[in-house]
Amino acid sequence: MENMTLNLRIWRQASDSDSGELVDYTVRNVSPDMSFLEVLDVVNDDIVKSGNEPVAYDYDCREGICGSCSLVINGVAHGPREATTACQLFMRHFSDGDTITVEPWRAKAFPVVKDLVVDRSAFDRIQAAGGYVSFDTGGACDANEILVPKEAADAAMDAAACIGCGACVAACKNASAELFVGAKVTQFALLPQGQGERDRRVLAMVEQMQEEGFGPCSNEGECQAVCPKEISVAHIQTLHREYTRASMRRIFGAG
């Protein structure tokens, strides 16, 4: 594959209070083996050389495991490849002459810090509201001391694959965080260690989710389609069961 010339339309916004706009940049000599973030680095080199402010964007691991990168590429969170973070999206999936739009996650709960960087601390606050096991589990016991059915262990593992990138929120027309919260709730609800705080956890996490301003779930499933870890909407359905169950137990005085 030949090197490409690409036309990038990148969202520039000085701060959350600024209105922001798409700015065009042409990048030449893009190798098909470059990642999308490397292309942004090249764009930034050019911008810096011309004495201007580089494009701010989030990244850390660049290997698809930390959940930092957060780009809406051509209208789809993390771009056109399924089960792929923006940092693992390689330019061989684009063609010479393409115009590519790059925007930040857009949600009331994720205010823009600058350009393509958004503040995702709302997710941390949801986690802090209950996404953990608080009691002392004692020293390491024998691996088979607490029996966990294989299906439950596998499903909990699937839920725990969530890297908290926020693509689910970015993709949802309601900016709903239910896929994220569903994964975090399910991960514990399925395991024996999660039982003690099962009701309290889901009630507190959902309350925090609402307080942050995330929207409701309309069951379209754009979230699952863009999730780099392929977290299933089944976790949203589990969240609905868990929240309803905990609410009923509270209403009827059992919780």
Partner 1 sequence: MSAVATFLTSTIGRKVLMALTGILLILFLVTHLAANLLILVDAEAYNAYSHALISNPLIYIAEAGLIALFVAHFASGILIYAQGRAARPSSYKDDRWAGGTSKKSFSSSTMILSGAFFLLFVPLHVWGFKFGTYYDAGNGIRDLHRLVVEEFQNPLLVAFYVVGMAILGLHMWHAFGSAFESLGVTQRDTLRRTGNVIAVVLAGGFMIIPLAIFFLGGGQ
Question: Does the footprint of partner 1 cover residue 199 (CB under 8 A)?
Answer: no
Please tell me whether residue 114 adopts helix, strand or coil conformation. strand
Question: Does the footprint of ligand HEM cover residue 219 (CB under 6 A)?
Answer: yes
Phi/psi of residue 168, nearest 5 degrees:
-60, -45
- Candidates 65, 133, 160, 225; binder of ligand FES (CB under 6 A) is 65
Question: Does the footprint of partner 1 cover residue 93 (CB under 8 A)?
Answer: no
CB burial of 119-148 (b: ≥16 within 10 Å; e: otherwise) equals: ebebbeebbebbbeeeeeeeeeeeeeeeee
Residue 90 Cβ vs ligand FES, minimum distance, rounded to whole Å: 13
Per-residue x/- mask for partner 1, residues 148 to 177, rule CB under 8 A?
-----------------------x-xxxx-
Q: Which residues contact 100 (CB under 8 A, 6 or more apart)?
A: 6, 7, 8, 9, 73, 74, 94
Question: Does the footprint of ligand HEM cover residue 244 (CB under 6 A)?
Answer: no
Question: Does the footprint of partner 1 cover residue 210 (CB under 8 A)?
Answer: yes
Beta bridge partners of 7: 26, 99
236 binds, among ligand FES, ligand HEM, partner 1, none (CB under 5 to 8 A by kind): partner 1
CB burial of 38-47 (b: ≥16 within 10 Å; e: otherwise) equals: bbbebbbeeb
CB of 45 or CB of 93, closer to partner 1: 93
Beta bridge partners of 26: 7
CB of 58 or CB of 242, closer to ligand HEM: 242
The length of the chain, given as a count of residues: 255
CB-side neighbour CA atoms (13 Å) of 32: 8
Size of the site for ligand FES (CB under 6 A): 12
d(C-alpha 219, C-alpha 214), whole Å: 15
Please tell me whether residue 174 adopts helix, strand or coil conformation. coil
Per-residue x/- mask for ligand HEM, residues 175 to 214, rule CB under 6 A?
----------------------------------------
CB of 240 or CB of 249, closer to ligand HEM: 240
Question: Does the footprint of partner 1 cover residue 74 (CB under 8 A)?
Answer: yes
Angle at which helix 178-189 crosses helix 121-130, to 10 degrees, equals 30
| Residues within the interface to partner 1 (CB under 8 A) | 9, 11, 22, 72, 74-77, 82, 101, 103, 106-109, 171, 173-176, 178, 206-207, 209-210, 213-222, 224-226, 233-234, 236-241, 243-244, 247-248, 250-251
| Residues within the interface to ligand FES (CB under 6 A) | 59-62, 64-69, 85, 87
| Residues within the interface to ligand HEM (CB under 6 A) | 218-219
